[in-house]
Chain A
């Protein structure tokens, strides 16, 4: 494997991590706010708070890891994406700032504050929408280079149906992933009222997910035939993903094997996410930027890989400890003990 491919694979893996745990996080915030407003908070709030509280900051680091890493391995992305993403990325930053701090204000400061919950619930849902625009831009056609400066065509971007189908996919995926995860979590906690409500949410959001995926394929064929054809070449990855999706939905509909459903959900998104990534290769942004012409120098690449391996040695046991203490600890999950500072 070349250093270029190794670098992007590592980054893509962390971005995948962010997609999954970020989705759980953002969706949970939304469900929490929604249930507060509709007066059903007694069912969901406990479950959601117990999962979210110890992990929200970790979620954020996955994102930071990705954008710091991509500038490290592919410095030229700072120029192309940095210049063109000023507005969309700033909006995402604003939302992340509101979301992160109001989450902390609500859960560590004033538990159950409706205004705060609403702020972070809504801003959390808008973050994936704002971030998903980056994927749209990477498909090319929205950036032109004038006088050596890349310029984003906002008009074309916001009137493109590709943009909006990707936004819909992002939203549906967030809510679907989150609801499926929380169904498993609530079931594990032995909270049957929360399980049955979250299960319903999971089934509801499975449907728009399918529509959005079909929509994107149709739009992508019109927009970037090269990428579309590459995706067709890798049809088997997407087929595996689709099968996993069907089985997940079946499990949830039949009210059984929630653990299996959760693993299949992760598998489904892993295959789709990596299928997308592999078919995008070698472009980082069509048609200006590839892995190879944006790659850093040999010395830095090796230094980054060494740092990464050493970092993982620290990270993996620590993450294991978190999972052990909070996700797989029965007493904690069931809320038997409160050890908050």
Chain B
């Protein structure tokens, strides 16, 4: 018995929760690493500015972590509340990484609490730095475990179905499914990349608003360098992801590329408008799709028409794919120009307009994250567990999902506004100039 109404609203509520949660989750995975790098540089160079950078990031981070934790709790429980049939099935095969994720989460929570309340408690800064390592590891490892579950939904492995019964279950094989390496790599690197660009964006914004402090120059340069490294990494893993799709989920790639007919030397379409299978106004890059799919400009790429129509995803994912990739390349470009410009003393990278481009980079990277997750989730449709269970079969039969959707809309609105207000107030009340002056007064010298 499928309750269409419940299916529709369950999808909507899950989309809403994920869309909101992923903002805080991305920051939650990426920022601890940024804090770690800043604090490490501060200790190595004996430069108080980087230490302060780490400290101020930590203060902001606890606010985003709080929202990340509670929305993560929400999605964790909503999996069972909205998709009980799926969880009953998946619980048998993929519960292991979900379970291990809670340990990673425990580990992170414990050390974050300690790290947060032990600033200057140790004489040796390095000891305090060591407490941060489990936080960063815990954050990244929980992302790895959760992404493994998502990878499993795309490429279910580690079990056999005999007469409608699931048998021969191998939890480890289920975890190391074919989708896992590229997905995990992509999620981690984009989280680091996005966090770096968001932080760079904040520094650039403060500079545009008139702050001349060297602190912002240092932090901008640091995060642009990190952003460059991670965005290049993202592009490389992105390429591997395309190769994965060709091999295991060709219909997802074909739908994302609006590639209908199987052909050799396929060209890549960027944006465009579609009328049936006719695509107009698209930028057509010859041989690029074959190159992307097989590293060979003349290779054959399977088209969407080879698949049953009721097993292919909605075609609007094309735009999500293009948006994600375009922002990704744009950010590689922006950060490369900045870093090279810094080394070769190009003056325009310090101009107002270029600063605004850097400021835009933060929100743009976050939009790319959203587009990427929508692509991943909508691109898997109609399946919740590819070739085994459709989304419609997985949903709850309860009649009250629409009301819950409404309630969660309000809650996320409150949390979103609340977190922004609190963060703004926190840093406005205590700008870097003031904090340095205060520390200076307290210690009686040492920092300029």
Residue positions of A touching B, CB distance < 8 A: 53-55, 57-58, 60-61, 63-65, 67-69, 71-73, 75-76, 78-87, 89-91, 93-94, 96-105, 108-110, 147-149, 151, 296-297, 299-300, 303-304, 307-308, 311, 314-315, 318-319, 321-322, 325-326, 332, 337, 339-341
Contact = CB atoms under 8 A, between A and B. Distances in A.
Interface in B329-356: none
Interface string B166-190: 1001111000000000000000000
Interface stretch (B250-258, B372-380, B394-402): B394-402
27 contacts: A57-B112, A65-B106, A68-B95, A68-B98, A75-B87, A79-B85, A82-B88, A83-B398, A86-B400, A87-B400, A87-B404, A93-B74, A94-B411, A103-B66, A105-B422, A108-B62, A108-B66, A109-B423, A303-B96, A307-B100, A307-B103, A315-B110, A318-B110, A325-B114, A326-B117, A341-B115, A341-B119
A72 B105 contact: no
Interface residues of B, number: 79
Given A94-B407, A104-B67, 10 more contacts: A68-B95, A72-B99, A75-B88, A85-B81, A93-B73, A104-B65, A108-B62, A297-B169, A318-B107, A326-B113
Contact of B84 (A83, A318, A337): A83
Interface string B44-67: 000000000001001100110111
A307 B74 CA distance: 24
B69 A100 contact: yes
A55 B113 contact: yes
Contact of B171 (A64, A100, A300, A311): A300
B59 A296 contact: no
Q: Which of A58, A78, A314, A337 has the most CB of B within 10 A?
A: A78
A83 B396 contact: yes
Contacts of B305: none
A280 B396 CA distance: 27
A194 B121 CA distance: 26
Nearest to A107: B62
A311 B97 CA distance: 12
Interface in B394-438: 396-398, 400-401, 403-404, 407-408, 411, 414-415, 418-419, 422-423, 425-426
A308 B98 CA distance: 12
A89 B169 contact: no
- Of B67, B73, B93, the most chain A CB neighbours within 10 A belong to B73
A79 B78 CA distance: 12
A226 to B, nearest CB: 26
Contacts of A103: 66
Interface SS, B side: helix
A104 B63 contact: yes
B76 interface: yes
Contacts, number: 239
A101 B66 contact: yes
A309 to B, nearest CB: 11
A58 B63 contact: no
Contact of B110 (A90, A319, A332, A337): A319
B125 to A, nearest CB: 13
Interface in B96-146: 96, 98-103, 105-107, 109-121, 134
A16 B121 CA distance: 33
A98 to B, nearest CB: 7
Given A58-B109, A65-B102, A341-B58, A97 B91 contact: no
Given A67-B80, A341-B59, A57 B118 contact: no
Contacts of B59: 108, 341
Given A54-B116, A82-B87, A89-B81, A97 B426 contact: no
Contact of A82 (B72, B84, B98, B118): B84
Contacts of A79: 84-85, 87-88
A69 B170 CA distance: 18
B447 interface: no
B67 A101 contact: yes
Contacts of A303: 96, 171-172
Q: Closest 9 A-B residue pairs measured CB to CB?
A: A75-B91, A104-B66, A82-B84, A72-B95, A78-B87, A109-B422, A311-B103, A54-B113, A82-B80
B92 interface: yes
B271 to A, nearest CB: 37
B230 to A, nearest CB: 25
A332 B91 CA distance: 43
Give the most central of B89, B119, B170, B411: most A CB within 10 Å: B411
Nearest to B400: A87
B441 interface: no
A79 to B, nearest CB: 4
B13 to A, nearest CB: 9
A209 B80 CA distance: 32
A199 to B, nearest CB: 27
B429 to A, nearest CB: 9
A63 B101 CA distance: 13
Contact of A300 (B82, B96, B134, B414): B96
A78 B73 contact: no
A75 B105 CA distance: 21
A186 B96 CA distance: 41
A307 B426 CA distance: 40
Contact of A78 (B91, B103, B119): B91
A296 B99 CA distance: 14
A82 B78 CA distance: 8
B162 interface: no
Contacts of A148: 1
Given A71-B87, A75-B91, A307-B100, A64 B73 contact: yes
Contact of A58 (B89, B110, B396, B415): B110
Nearest to B75: A93
- Which one of B102, B116, B119 has the greatest number of beta carbons of chain A within 10 Å? B102
Contacts of A341: 55, 58-59, 62, 115-117, 119
A67 B77 contact: yes
Given A72-B99, A75-B95, A90-B81, A82 B170 contact: no
A72 B103 contact: no
B91 A86 contact: no
B168 to A, nearest CB: 8
B63 A300 contact: no
A92 to B, nearest CB: 8
Nearest to B58: A341
A99 B70 CA distance: 9
B117 A53 contact: yes
Contacts of B426: 108-110
B71 interface: yes
